[in-house]
Amino acid sequence: MKKLTIGILTNAKNTKLVNTIEAHGHEAKIFNPEKMYMYISEYERGYDRLYFGIDGDAPERITAKSIDIIINRVGKNTEFATDVLKFMVENLGIYCPNKPDSLLKASNKAKTLQILSSAKIPVPRTIVCQKPAHVKWLVETIGELPIVIKKTTGSQGDTVGIVDTKVSANSMCEFIYNSGINAVVEEYIEAESKDYRVWVVGDKTPVAMRRTAKKGDWKSNISKGGTGERVYLNEADKEICIKAAHSLGLNICGVDMLKSKKTGRSVIIEINSNPGTRIIDICNYNVWNDVIKFCEDNYKKGNQKNEIEKNPVENLSTSKEPDIEKNKADGEVDWETINNLPHNIECDKWC
């Protein structure tokens, strides 16, 4: 296998992924989307470019040739990161195992459920709303109390609540009505406070864990004190998870599944395009090996060639490319390189 350069689009360190990439004999490069510049050319044939700048150093140009594969590990600021990933895939033709738009879809629980339902994948009975004024109707349409209320975007169980009395249903709906958030109101699936986190890699589910909420809680997120254990899924559950992932355009993701105690059915509650990696230690299984193997096997077959043909950006040698470095006006005062700025300077301080 030829040595590949594998980029990771991320705002974190991703040590386990970097180590696995290197253990496979490849090179890992970290790109924080917040430090990228997308240069969009005015030239009709296109000379789009991507630059990456670390602190005060001059931004470095990222060419299509310099990265073979890009893996998304974006946990925040998803909208901009999706734009960067789209640019890398569609404008530069770099292979990514996940479709860039799927990051945005997966980051929104309402959008995810809508797509899953249209793909005929079992999901909890759900109402998505902004101004829930009809509380009785809402609860009766979902079925009965308790119901689960979630913000459409959110993670680690932080914006997920359970409503189990009429009084709390009234006040929760009033809160949503007045706060202007979009809410997902779901049927509560009685599953003994357990759920399943299933990693999908291509058309396989290499590892899955059952998570159990800590005593007295109902949310099974590990970050909320839940515990995990490795489980082996039956074929039907594997199939649901793989179909769910693919319906969103994801080859690599973590699918969250509940198994209803009442009906015995498996339902999908959400899909994580940037799943946590605690599963690796809990299950003693390094799923990054599967991910790298999938990338090795698929990157040539990916959209690289087609996208380049569709968007001829990097491979046009005949037209004259403007040299923006030499384009400075005579006598222009040089800009100072902005060094030593605090790392997380807020944008409004610049204005």
Ligand X SMILES: Nc1ncnc2c1ncn2[C@@H]1O[C@H](COP(=O)(O)OP(=O)(O)OP(=O)(O)O)[C@@H](O)[C@H]1O
| Residue ranges that bind ligand X, judged by CB under 6 A | 124, 148, 150, 154-158, 160, 186, 188-189, 191, 195, 219-221, 256, 258, 269-270, 272
Site string for Mg ion, 266-295 (x = CB under 5 A): ------------------------------
Token pair of 38 as six digits: 């997308």
Quick one: which segment of 78-86, 254-262, 280-288, 330-338 binds Mg ion (CB under 5 A)? 254-262
The interface partner of residue 201, options being Mg ion, ligand X, none and the CB cut-off 5 to 8 Å by kind, is: none
Q: DSSP letter at 318?
A: S
Strands of 132-191, DSSP E: 147-151, 160-163, 183-187
Given candidates 256, 290, 307, 314, which one binds Mg ion under the rule CB under 5 A? 256
345 SS3 class: coil
Q: Given the DSSP bridges, would you call strands 36-39 and 27-31 parallel, antiparallel or unpaired? A: unpaired
What, of Mg ion, ligand X, none, does residue 245 touch, CB below 5 to 8 Å by kind? none
Q: Binds 188, which of Mg ion, ligand X, none (CB < 5 to 8 A, cut-off by type)?
A: ligand X
Three-point CA angle 274, 188, 136, nearest 5°: 125
The stretch among 57-65, 184-192, 228-236, 255-263 that binds Mg ion (CB under 5 A) is: 255-263
Nearer to Mg ion, 72 or 274 (CB): 274
> Least distance from C-beta 233 to Mg ion, angstroms?
17
CB of 224 to ligand X, least distance (A): 8
DSSP H or E run through 289: helix 288-298
Bridge partners of residue 128, in order along the sequence? 184
Identify which of residues 191 and 250 has a Cβ nearer to ligand X in the complex: 191
B/e letters for 39-74, b = 16+ CB within 10 Å, e = fewer, are eeeeeeebbbbbebeeeeeeeeebebeebbbbbbbb
Using the minimum distance from each CB to ligand X, give the nearer residue, 187 or 307: 187
Counting contacts by CB under 5 A, is residue 314 touching Mg ion?
no
Instruction: Name the residue nearer to Mg ion (CB basis): 46 or 154.
Output: 154
The Cα-based distances of 123 to 113, 142, 184, 255 in angstroms read 7, 12, 12, 12
Asked if 208 and 196 count as a contact pair (C-beta separation under 8 A), the reply is: yes
Nearer to ligand X, 90 or 270 (CB): 270
Q: Which residues here bind Mg ion, judged by CB under 5 A?
A: 256
